[in-house]
Structure 1
Amino acid sequence: MTSDDIEIRHLTKRYRGGAYDRPALQDIDLEIPHRRFVSLIGPSGCGKSTLLRVMAGLTVPDHGRVSLFGRTPREMCRRKAIGLVPQTPALLPWLNVRQNIALPTLVNRRRGTSHESTDDLLRAVGLEDSAHRYPHQLSGGMSQRVAIARALGLRPDVLLMDEPFSALDEFTREALRMQLLELWQRRATTVVFVTHSVHEAVVLSDRIVVMSARPGRIHDVLDVDLPRPREREVVSDSRTHEVEGRVRASLRSAWSSGINPTELVAP
Structure 2
Amino acid sequence: MTGDRIEVRGLTKAYEGADPLRPALHDVDLEIPRGRFVSLIGPSGCGKSTLLRVVAGLERHDTGTVSVFGSTPERMAAAKAVGLVPQSPALLPWQNVRRNVSLPSRVNRRAGRGSEDPDLLLRMVGLEDAARKYPHELSGGMRQRVAIARAFGIRPDLLLMDEPFSALDEFTREALQLQLLGLWERMSTTVLFVTHSVREAVTLSDTVVVMSARPGRVHEVLDVDLPRPRDRGVVTGPRLHVLEDRVRASLQTAWEAGAAPDDLVPL
- Asked if residue 74 in structure 1 is aligned to residue 83 in structure 2, the reply is no
Match runs of 1:243-262 below 5 Å = 243-262=243-262
Q: Does the residue aligned with 2:114 lie in a helix, a strand or coil?
A: coil
Residues 74-113 of structure 1 correspond to what in structure 2 (within 5 A)? 74-109=74-109, 113=113
Cα separation, 2, equivalents of 1:228 and 1:111: 28
Q: Shift in Å at residue 247 of structure 1?
A: 0.5
More off after superposition, 115-124 vs 73-82: 115-124
> What letter matches 2:128 in structure 1?
E
Q: Contact 2:161–2:194 at 8 Å: present in 1 too?
A: yes
CA distance in 2, matches of 1:169, 1:41: 20
Question: 1:149 aligns to what?
Answer: 149
Structure 1: which amino acid aligns with 2:152? L
Q: C-alpha distance in 1, partners of 2:220/2:260?
A: 16
Decide whether the 8 Å contact of 1:10 with 1:64 is kept in 2: yes
Partner of 1:178: 178
1:167 corresponding residue in structure 2: 167
SS state at 1:15 partner? coil
Letter in 2 for 1:90: A
Instruction: Identify the residue that residue 238 of structure 1 maps to in structure 2.
Output: 238
Per-residue deviation, residues 201-233 of structure 1 (Å, max 9, x unmatched): 001100000001111111000001111111101
Residues 154-181 of structure 1: CA deviation (Å, up to 9, x unaligned):
1101110000000000000000001011
Unmatched 5+ stretches in structure 2: none
How far residue 117 of structure 1 moved from its aligned partner, in angstroms, is: 2.1
Tell me what 1:36 maps to. Answer: 36
Return 5+ residue gaps in structure 1 as ranges: none
1:79, CA displacement in angstroms?
Answer: 1.7
Aligned residues of 2:42 and 2:212 also touching (Cα < 8 A): yes
Percent identity, please. 70
CA drift of 1:152 comes to 1.1
TM-score by length of 2: 0.95
Relative to structure 2, which stretch is displaced further, 137-146 or 113-122?
Answer: 113-122
**SS of 1:46's equivalent?**
coil
Q: Is the 8 A contact 2:198 2:266 kept in 1?
A: yes
Q: SS in structure 1 opposite 2:115?
A: coil
- 2: CA distance between counterparts of 1:107 and 1:118? 14
Q: Report the AA paired with residue 107 of structure 1.
A: V
Q: Secondary structure at the match of 1:256?
A: helix
| Whole-angstrom CA distance in 1 between matches of 2:58 and 2:232 | 35
What is aligned with 1:128? 128
**What amino acid does structure 2 have at the position aligned with 1:123?**
R
Tell me by how many angstroms 1:257 deviates. Answer: 2.8
Q: CA deviation at 1:256?
A: 2.1
Could you tell me how far 1:20 is from its partner in structure 2? 7.5
Please, which moves more after superposition, 210-219 or 123-132?
123-132
Distance 1:112 1:159 in 2: 18
- The match for 2:216 is 216
Query: In the alignment, which residue of structure 2 is the partner of 1:7?
Result: 7
Q: Is the 8 A contact 1:80 1:113 kept in 2?
A: no
* TM-score of the superposed pair, with normalisation by structure 1: 0.95
CA-to-aligned-CA distance 1:8-44 (integer Å, 9 cap, x gap) = 0111111115x88662111110001110100000111
Native 8 Å contact 1:251 1:259 kept in 2: no
Secondary structure of the corresponding residue to residue 23 of structure 1: coil
Q: Conserved in 1, the CA contact under 8 Å of 2:7 and 2:66?
A: yes
Shift of 1:241: 0.5
* CA distance in 2: counterparts of 1:20 and 1:110, whole angstroms: 42
Residues of 2 paired with 1:28 and 1:166: CA distance?
Answer: 25
**Structure 1 letter corresponding to 2:228:** R
In structure 2, give the amino acid aligned to 1:133: K
How many residues are aligned here?
266
- Give the secondary structure class of the aligned counterpart of 1:61: coil
What is residue 193 of structure 1 aligned with on the other side?
Answer: 193
